[in-house]
Chain A
Amino acid sequence: GESVGLHLPTLSVQEGDNSIINCAYSNSASDYFIWYKQESGKGPQFIIDIRSNMDKRQGQRVTVLLNKTVKHLSLQIAATQPGDSAVYFCAEIPGFQKLVFGTGTRLLVSP
């Protein structure tokens, strides 16, 4: 079936660095993409979303880039902090129906 996948299972960065988490998706019919942050033992927390008619969206310290040509999604975190350490999931919604989650990337931020 269609799936969303990630290139890197673990990303280690130093505090203050910028982090880039990548995601490849396979369903060209997806209209909507979301990045979630999940801390250990907690539910996913919404970070930022982007619709398929956009290629970039910025939030506070975060930017999501969408490249529909190569079906690639990325999350950029500026000035990464220890509190950003978590597992990050990209998710897509083909046809605005159900969320399909990627496999997740663990971000480790060292002080």
Chain B
Amino acid sequence: GAVVSQHPSRVICKSGTSVKIECRSLDFQATTMFWYRQFPKQSLMLMATSNEGSKATYEQGVEKDKFLINHASLTLSTLTVTSAHPEDSSFYICSARGLAGPTDTQYFGPGTRLTVL
């Protein structure tokens, strides 16, 4: 299957700092990328949908000014957690969907564990 990578895999930062997480589709082009957050023992919650070259669409309750998303190319999307606080500590997972659109399979990255001290 297709490969999606995330970097970094784990990050620890101080409260108030910003953290950038990269999501790359390694062997396919992704028109759409998705960002999820997952708390321990819970399911994945969609944060935002990112389309290449356009503004991301955020889910209700997700602050777009806090979670900045950039989808500059068909293989790269970034999520920046600005002014991170301990409550932002979570497992952040991206996924990428191919050019075939909604009928194309969504492949997930390995996740990034963010810990805010």
Q: Which residues of A contact B (CB under 8 A)?
A: 32, 34, 36, 41-46, 49, 89, 93, 96-99, 101-104
User: B residues 1-45 with Cβ under 8 Å of A?
Assistant: 1, 4, 6, 34, 42-45
* Beta-carbon nearest neighbor of B1 in chain A: A46
Q: Which of A44, A96, A101, A102 has the most CB of B within 10 A?
A: A44
Q: B75-88 toward A: CB 8 Å interface, digit per residue (1/0)?
A: 00000000000000
Given contacts A43-B6, A89-B43, A99-B34, 13 further A-B contacts (CB under 8 A): A34-B105, A34-B106, A41-B111, A42-B111, A43-B111, A45-B108, A46-B107, A49-B105, A93-B102, A96-B103, A99-B106, A103-B43, A104-B43
Q: Is residue B116 within 8 Å, beta carbon to beta carbon, of the partner chain?
A: no
Q: Is residue B49 within 8 Å, beta carbon to beta carbon, of the partner chain?
A: yes
Q: How many A-B residue pairs have CB under 8 A?
A: 49
Instruction: Give the interface size bracket for B toward A.
Output: 20 to 34
**Complex-state Cα separation, A102 to B44, whole angstroms:** 8
Q: Which residues of B contact A (CB under 8 A)?
A: 1, 4, 6, 34, 42-46, 49, 91, 93, 95, 102-103, 105-111, 113
Q: Can you give 17 contacting A-B residue pairs, CB < 8 Å? A: A34-B105, A34-B106, A36-B108, A41-B111, A43-B6, A43-B110, A44-B44, A44-B93, A45-B108, A46-B105, A46-B106, A89-B43, A98-B46, A99-B46, A101-B45, A103-B43, A104-B42
**Known contacts A49-B105, A93-B102, A98-B49: does B113 contact A41 (CB below 8 Å)?**
yes
* Beta-carbon nearest neighbor of A95 in chain B: B102
Chain B residues lying within 8 Å of A102, measured Cβ to Cβ, are 43
Chain A residues lying within 8 Å of B4, measured Cβ to Cβ, are 43
**Complex-state Cα separation, A98 to B95, whole angstroms:** 12
**Complex-state Cα separation, A110 to B4, whole angstroms:** 31
Q: Which of A49, A93, A101, A103 has the most CB of B within 10 A?
A: A101
* B109-A43 in contact (CB<8A): yes
* Beta-carbon nearest neighbor of B49 in chain A: A98
